[in-house]
Amino acid sequence: GAVVSQHPSWVICKSGTSVKIECRSLDFQATTMFWYRQFPKQSLMLMATSNEGSKATYEQGVEKDKFLINHASLTLSTLTVTSAHPEDSSFYICSGQSTEPNTEAFFGQGTRLTVV
């Protein structure tokens, strides 16, 4: 199947700093990228959907100024957690989907963010 590479797999940062997470589709063009957040022992919560070349659509309750999403190309999307706080510590997962409708989305390996 198609591959989505997410980097870094884990990161520790100090409160107040910003962290960037990259998500790359390696062998397909991801027209749409999804960013999820997963709390311990819970399901995935969709944070935002981004389409290449346009602004991301954020789910209700997600601060767009805090979670900056960029999808500048068909193979790369980034999530930047700005001014991170301990409550932002979580597992973040991206997924990419090609242009064909109703097809599966391919997931990255996830990033474990710990803010100290």
Partner 1 sequence: GDSVTQMEGPVTLSEEAFLTINCTYTATGYPSLFWYVQYPGEGLQLLLKATKADDKGSNKGFEATYRKETTSFHLEKGSVQVSDSAVYFCALWDTDKLIFGTGTRLQVFP
Which range touches partner 1 (CB under 8 A), out of 13-21, 41-49, 68-76, 78-86? Answer: 41-49
Question: For residues 16-35, which are near partner 1 according to CB under 8 A?
Answer: 32, 34
Nearer to partner 1, 82 or 98 (CB): 98
Neighbouring C-beta atoms of residue 115, cutoff 10 Å: 20
Which range touches partner 1 (CB under 8 A), out of 14-22, 44-52, 71-79, 82-90? Answer: 44-52
Shortest spacing between CB 63 and partner 1, in angstroms? 19
Tokens of 55: 């602004």
CA–CA distances in Å: residue 87 to residues 16, 22, 63, 69? 12, 21, 13, 19
Tokens of 93: 């997962």
